[in-house]
């Protein structure tokens, strides 16, 4: 009798696995359908040309060339035509300058940071499109519903709990970076928040000011401090933007994530999903602001990720070489 029940349970699990696989394939294929309203292939020059046309239309009529010129006035009108062309060209240059200045202000783009290689851009764009649909169709609606039901104070406490739970990752990364002071401070934060912060739901360590500053160390940052470059840009489904270096780091970080050792096997995925939903509910609108201000959302996300990681590693290197001059993270 028991063997019959186990056999039936096995058949049911196999059936559920097949259904989940078929649903995943269908959903992935549907999300990868072309979205013609998304300007993935836009060019910065398009905006410059449109802006130049608007400037041209606003110029006085006596500056613009006439369609039926009198022979005796052709030379003078030609000179005015050159003035109009110059004004349009300057308008286009002004647009480009304003665009890139605004891009630097919004995303912290710096010319001294090398762009990341992107040899698998078609795959990355497809995964970016999939993650975009996943966010707007699944994650955001769920996060909004969760936000409606759960008070912000509770959601902040949950975020503090998971941040405190990631202590092994930050502690290990600090040791591997030879940042022994950071490892010591991280231990102090973990002890204070665990004992007096109700297992990390509260953050009393932050009330100490600069004594126990927040530390955001990870293995990808550690590899960067060691001198390992980012490699190529990779966008993973669900996970999001990454690099070859950070992908290997993410695999190692799984062993430093305490919920990864929970049983049964699907429990860690459930815990991680809940953590993502809770974090998303606290920053709804950030992703929309990023892609809404960009001509090409894919390039905006790629450059923002590359700039963020490069700046983070650069700041940590400076902190390790001259800790007295660099403010804590």
Residue range 95-153, pLDDT digits in tens: 344 434 444 444 445 557 899 999 999 999 999 999 999 999 999 999 999 999 999 99
pLDDT tens for each residue of 291-303: 888 899 999 999 9
Q: Which long-range contacts (CB under 8 A, 24 or more apart) does 246-251 make?
A: 246/220, 246/309, 248/223, 249/218, 249/219, 249/220, 249/222, 249/223, 250/219, 250/220
Q: What tokens were used for 76?
A: 């003078």
Output the pLDDT for position 209.
75
Mean pLDDT of 10-28: 50
Output the pLDDT for position 138.
97
245, 218 Cβ separation under 8 angstroms: no
- CA neighbor of 286 nearest in space, from 240, 328, 253: 240
- CA neighbor of 95 nearest in space, from 57, 50, 129, 60: 50
Between CA 51 and CA 290 the distance in angstroms is 22
pTM: 0.66
- CA neighbor of 176 nearest in space, from 133, 226, 136, 118: 226
pLDDT-derived band at 42, boundaries 50, 70, 90 = very low
Residues 6+ apart with CB under 8 A from 156: 282
Reply yes or no on whether the pLDDT at 237 is more than 60: yes
Reply yes or no on whether the pLDDT at 199 is more than 90: yes
CA 218 distance to own-chain centroid:
16
Output the pLDDT for position 93.
47
Output the pLDDT for position 51.
33
């Amino acid at each position: 009798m028991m063997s019959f029940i186990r056999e039936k349970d096995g058949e049911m699990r196999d059936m559920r696995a097949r259904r989940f696989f078929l649903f995943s394939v269908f959903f992935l294929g549907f999300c990868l359908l072309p979205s013609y309203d998304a300007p993935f292939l836009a060019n910065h020059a398009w905006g410059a040309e449109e802006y130049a046309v608007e400037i041209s239309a606003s110029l006085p009529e006596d500056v613009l060339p006439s369609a039926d010129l009198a022979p005796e006035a052709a030379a003078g009108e030609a000179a005015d035509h050159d003035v109009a062309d110059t004004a349009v060209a300057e308008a286009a240059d002004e647009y480009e300058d304003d665009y890139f200045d605004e891009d630097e202000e919004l995303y912290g783009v710096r010319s001294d940071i090398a762009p990341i290689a992107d040899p698998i851009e078609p795959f990355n764009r497809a995964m970016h499109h999939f993650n975009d649909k996943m966010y707007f169709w699944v994650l955001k609606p769920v996060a909004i519903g969760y936000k409606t039901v759960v008070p912000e104070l509770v959601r902040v406490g949950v975020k503090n709990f998971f941040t405190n739970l990631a202590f092994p990752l930050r502690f290990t990364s600090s040791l591997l970076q030879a940042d022994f002071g950071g490892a010591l401070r991280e231990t102090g934060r973990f002890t204070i928040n665990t004992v007096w912060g109700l297992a990390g739901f509260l953050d009393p360590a932050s009330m100490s000011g600069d004594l126990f500053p927040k530390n955001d160390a990870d293995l990808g940052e550690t590899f960067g401090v060691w001198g390992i470059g980012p490699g190529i840009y990779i966008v993973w489904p669900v996970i999001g933007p990454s690099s070859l270096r950070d992908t290997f780091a993410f695999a190692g970080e799984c062993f430093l994530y305490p919920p990864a050792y929970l049983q049964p096997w699907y429990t860690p995925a459930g815990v991680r999903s809940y953590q993502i939903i809770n974090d998303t509910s606290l920053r709804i609108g950030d992703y929309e602001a990023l892609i809404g201000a960009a001509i090409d959302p894919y390039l905006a996300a790629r450059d923002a990720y590359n700039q963020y990681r490069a700046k983070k590693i650069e700041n940590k290197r400076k902190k390790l070489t001259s800790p007295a001059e660099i403010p804590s993270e």
